Amino acid sequence: MFKNYIKIAWRSLKKQPFFTFLNTFGLAIGMAGALLISLYIYDEMSYDKMFADANRIHRIHADIKFGGDAREFAVTPAPMAEALKNDFSEIELVTRFRTRGSALVRKADDQANVKEEQTTFVDASFFEMFGLELLAGDVKTALKNPNTLVLTKTAAEKHFEIGNAVGQNLVLNNEETYTVVGVIDDFPQNSFLRDHSVFESMEGNGDAKEINWGSNNYQTFIKLIPTVNAADIQEQLRGFLGKYVIPGVQQYMPGITEEQLKKSGSYLVYSTMPLTDIHLKSHRVAEISANNDIQSIYILSFIAVFLIVLASVNFMNLSTAHSLKRAKEVGVRKTL
């Protein structure tokens, strides 16, 4: 009986090839379109979830309004990291990035430079923060000394064999000599570090040691201990204005107080955002990489659902209309 059904179905399809093509092709296009959109949405929603303990990692933000100009920053002052370590027992780790943009890189004994699009200073806690392992080098000592750097696998292969990279010297921008202390695997495309290839030790960045709360240049990430929620530290984080920022500003503007700042309509508010929300929900000044918008994900989700519904309704309508022509066949088959 099953073989008979297949035979009759095949004959019916051959009998009306245009209808068969129209119905099948319409449903296939709708399903294919919805599937492709779903894969794109899945990729966008998966950003930065590959890092260990990603749900406990947050970035510190600064919302600033001064002199009528309100801006939202993804960066904070250099001393923010040390203050977080000292003031919060709820924080397990702190690490900073200071992006430098592109750089010309060459071996110490070569003349030809290779351009790396994204380089950045990072603290030595960078590896533990994101649960990263080195392909070459010792992760426990990497980036703890000034004028050292870690390369991604692709960047290292431009100059050395992976096994011989550690201990070699590289010259950046024809003036700064660094020693390679490690090689790290390339970051996936759904990571905020996807374009970065050279990570330099923050110990060699003198600005990182300055106690200047008026300059915002550092992406500051924290990892909370497992039992703590980000909401638990927000109130104390807002208190950094009066505790650290105002005393620093008073060196240049004697007499200014937190109350005067509020009366003038100005403000400075520090807050946190989960690492996994940054790609779709953060559009601040000095983002470490280009982000997308959650609104575009909502729109694409609606389009995918609409395609499926439209293709399904079209398939059912055509099938229903075609079924009327087979009423005599159905009657004969039932009689037999």
The whole-number average pLDDT for the span 176-203 is 96
Which of the 8 DSSP states describes residue 245?
I
- Measure the CA–CA gap between 97 and 199, rounded to whole angstroms: 9
Band (pLDDT 50/70/90 cuts) for residue 234 is very high
Reported as a single tens digit per residue, the pLDDT across 41-78 is: 999 999 999 999 999 999 999 999 987 789 999 999 99
Reported as a single tens digit per residue, the pLDDT across 189-198 is: 999 999 999 9
Residue 51 sits at the vertex; the CA angle it makes with 194 and 226, to the nearest 5 degrees, is: 145
| Distance from the Cα of residue 81 to its chain's centroid | 21
Segments making up each domain of the chain, as ranges: 2-45+294-335, 54-281
Do 104 and 172 touch, CB atoms closer than 8 A? yes
Q: pLDDT above 70 covers what percent of the chain?
A: 99
The whole-number average pLDDT for the span 282-288 is 94
- Measure the CA–CA gap between 198 and 4, rounded to whole angstroms: 66
- Residue 15 token pair: 């009998």
Do 64 and 278 touch, CB atoms closer than 8 A? no
